[in-house]
Amino acid sequence: MLIAANWKMNLGKFEIDQFSNFLQSNEFHDKLDVCIFPPSVYINYLNTRIECLPISIGAQNCYHEFSGAFTGEVSPTSLKDIGCKYVLVGHSERRINNNESNLYVQKCTSAAIKSDLIPIICVGETLKDRESGTALDFIEKQLIESVPSSFENIFVAYEPIWSIGTGKIPSSSEIKEMHKHIKQVISSKFNNSIKVIYGGSVNPSNVSDILNVNEVDGVLIGGASLNPKDFLAIYHSTVKHLNLYFSNN
Ligand code: 13P
């Protein structure tokens, strides 16, 4: 189970200090993976602030080349070098704002794998696709074109675009149907298996219902991960959901 916090282009040094002080007061369970994706310029800083905690660091994107004349791009090898474990690839905000195509996402994913990072490929349909009944087909195409032909350990984040930052989430049966579909597509087209996490308006009040869907292997949290109290509330709901106990109770 993975609890991932995508801070997007938010928080600075001062807030990172506050956030990490708050995390120091929490007990973390080693059976539950936690990863924070800060803005890339703060990856190192956050890493130094939480290095004593069992929390991984990830990057919000990477380029598909490892070095060279690519001004402003972020190399996956550099990300590995500064301690990243995961990298988000093809987040819908990048697909929309930076015109990242499925093929581009596939190339970045392959480069991330070669750099020994664990990619989390983001997919998600628009409201129009959801309402016209084509969401499953849309996601299938995104997967077939974005996932590299061979891989060992990658995640898919199912993030319906209409759910991001809106407070609206799909019903449990819609989440179940889509996560099952994603796993089936990966199994039939790639002869492989994959973990699928859900993202889109996850908060402390709805996380239990989301985790109760069997096919959900974790959550990718945006807005609610910026507030350390909400983030830890989500963490503790997940601990409860998994029936994990801490050594001192
Ligand atoms: P929100 O949780 O703010 O809807 O964002 C989800 C997201 O985009 C995470 O990558």
Atom of ligand 1 nearest to the CA of 122: 10
Residue 164's nearest CA partner among 199, 125, 131 is 199
The pLDDT of 68-86, averaged and rounded, is: 98
179 is a catalytic site residue: no
CA of 248 to the centre of ligand 1 (A): 34
- Check residue 244 and give its pLDDT: 79
pLDDT above 90 (res 247): no
CB 154 within 8 A of CB 113: yes
The model scores a pTM over 0.95: yes
The pLDDT of 198-211, averaged and rounded, is: 98
CA of 69 to the centre of ligand 1 (A): 32
CB 40 within 8 A of CB 78: no
How many CB atoms are closer than 10 A to CB 168?
Answer: 12
Beta partners for residue 221, in sequence order = 5
CA of 68 to the centre of ligand 1 (A): 32
- Check residue 243 and give its pLDDT: 86
Assigned fold of 2-247? TIM Barrel (3.20.20)
Of all protein residues, whose CA lies closest to atom 9 belonging to ligand 1? Answer: 222
Alpha carbons within 13 A on the beta-carbon side of 52: 8
Which residues 6+ apart lie within 8 Å of 73 measured at CB? 63, 65
Measured in degrees and rounded to the nearest 5, phi and psi for residue 92 equal -60, -30
Give domain limits for the chain: 2-247
Any long-range contacts for 142-145 (C-beta under 8 Å, 24+ apart)? Answer: 142/102, 143/182, 143/185, 143/186, 143/189, 144/185, 144/189, 145/102, 145/103, 145/105, 145/106
91 is a catalytic site residue: yes
